[in-house]
């Protein structure tokens, strides 16, 4: 009888100690999570008659993704620059992309690049859409081969020179190239998931093609995505405005569509929070 009572008392102590440990772990875990009241939030500023869910930034789950920060889009010698120039100049796109790069690196956030390359075998495709035909015709993003970097430096497929310190720092994750517009067939989603990312600040080129296609696919894959609407640009022709088309869809699809000023301020706030943490 006494032995049974002793066992019951011992078991009770273990249960009590276990409960305390569980409460301590739960409390610690809760304190590690960003508090909604304190964490920066990115939210569409203008009211378009749509819900504006926004994204509460969690630095442990957040990354910046940039598509096609390459010479053929943004360099003065780039083959697409003549039709991109107006939009890029109006948005201050080149400088805005760099501002987000800098804020990202200063805050210690992961940076992912989803580049665009075409190899000789890609030019043997038997059919293509309108802009695929154009890109192949003007040799946009061309490289001599997957393992051949001859002539790559300063070519249209290379990074814009001022972005290289951010992309080539040994920390940025440069994914396999996407081939048309979206990331369905490169390893971007895999790399994001393997790094524990589920929140994305998205920017790059071009607004209504690769950026929008990345937005759509990443949302379908279960990521929370905010687009930096002036850290991108698009081709304008006499009859078509790619940038305006993209803005409409960003506001329908993304958690938020924000300016570079808003994105950089939110990222810098994360940086200040991290610096203030013991």
For the segment 234-248, what is each residue's pLDDT rounded down to a tens digit? 999 999 999 999 999
DSSP 49: S
- Structure tokens given for 35: 């508090």
Contacts of 192 (CB under 8 A, 6+ apart): 63, 65, 112, 198, 200, 223
Task: Determine the 3-state secondary structure of 90 from DSSP.
Answer: helix
Most distant CA pair in the chain, distance: 95
By C-alpha distance, which of 255, 264, 253 is closest to 64?
264
Q: Answer with the residue of higher pLDDT: 30 or 266.
A: 266
**E strand segments, the chain:** 41-42, 55-56, 62-67, 111-114, 173-174, 199-204, 224-228, 256-258
Q: For 114-127, write each residue's pLDDT tens digit.
A: 999 999 999 999 99
- 8: pLDDT confidence band, cut at 50, 70 and 90? very low
Q: Answer with the residue of higher pLDDT: 154 or 11.
A: 154
**E strand segments, 16-116:** 41-42, 55-56, 62-67, 111-114
- 62: pLDDT confidence band, cut at 50, 70 and 90? very high
Predicted TM-score (pTM) of this structure = 0.86
CA pair distance 260, 5, nearest whole angstrom: 68
pLDDT at 7 over 60: no
- 22: pLDDT confidence band, cut at 50, 70 and 90? very low
pLDDT at 57 over 50: yes
CA pair distance 245, 232, nearest whole angstrom: 13
Question: CATH top-level class for 35-276?
Answer: alpha beta
- Structure tokens given for 97: 């992309």
pLDDT at 221 over 70: yes
Residue pair 63/195 in contact (Cβ under 8 Å)? The answer is yes
CA pair distance 222, 121, nearest whole angstrom: 33
Domain boundaries, the chain: 1-32, 35-276
DSSP 236: B
CA pair distance 266, 260, nearest whole angstrom: 10
Whether residue 206 is preceded by a cis peptide bond, meaning omega within 30 degrees of 0, is: yes
Give the pLDDT of residue 38: 82
First to last CA, the chain: 53
Residue pair 100/263 in contact (Cβ under 8 Å)? The answer is yes
Phi-psi region of 145 (alpha: psi -120 to 50; beta: other; left: phi over 0): left
């Amino acid at each position: 009888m006494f032995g049974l009572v002793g066992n019951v008392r011992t078991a009770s102590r273990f249960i009590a100690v276990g409960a305390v440990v569980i409460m301590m772990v739960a409390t610690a875990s809760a304190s590690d999570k960003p508090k909604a009241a304190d964490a920066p939030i990115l939210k569409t500023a203008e009211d378009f008659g749509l819900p504006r869910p926004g994204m509460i930034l969690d630095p442990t789950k957040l990354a910046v993704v940039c598509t096609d920060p390459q010479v053929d889009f943004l360099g003065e010698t780039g083959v697409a620059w003549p039709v991109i120039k107006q939009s890029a100049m109006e948005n201050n796109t080149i400088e805005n992309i760099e501002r987000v790069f800098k804020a990202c690196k200063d805050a210690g956030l992961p940076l992912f690049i989803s580049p665009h390359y075409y190899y000789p075998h890609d030019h043997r495709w038997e059919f293509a859409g309108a802009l695929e035909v154009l890109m192949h015709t003007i040799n946009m993003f061309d490289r001599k081969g997957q393992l051949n970097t001859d002539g790559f430096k300063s070519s249209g497929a290379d990074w814009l020179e001022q972005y290289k310190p951010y992309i080539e720092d040994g920390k940025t994750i440069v994914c396999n190239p996407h081939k048309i517009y979206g990331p369905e067939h490169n390893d971007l989603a895999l790399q994001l998931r393997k790094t524990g990312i589920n929140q994305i600040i998205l920017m790059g080129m071009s607004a209504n093609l690769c950026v929008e296609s990345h937005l759509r696919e990443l949302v379908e894959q279960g990521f929370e995505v905010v687009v930096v609407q002036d850290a991108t640009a698009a081709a304008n022709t006499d009859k078509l405005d790619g940038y305006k088309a993209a803005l409409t869809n960003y506001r329908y699809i993304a958690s938020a569509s924000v300016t570079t000023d808003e994105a950089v301020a939110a990222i810098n706030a994360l940086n200040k929070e991290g610096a203030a943490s013991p």
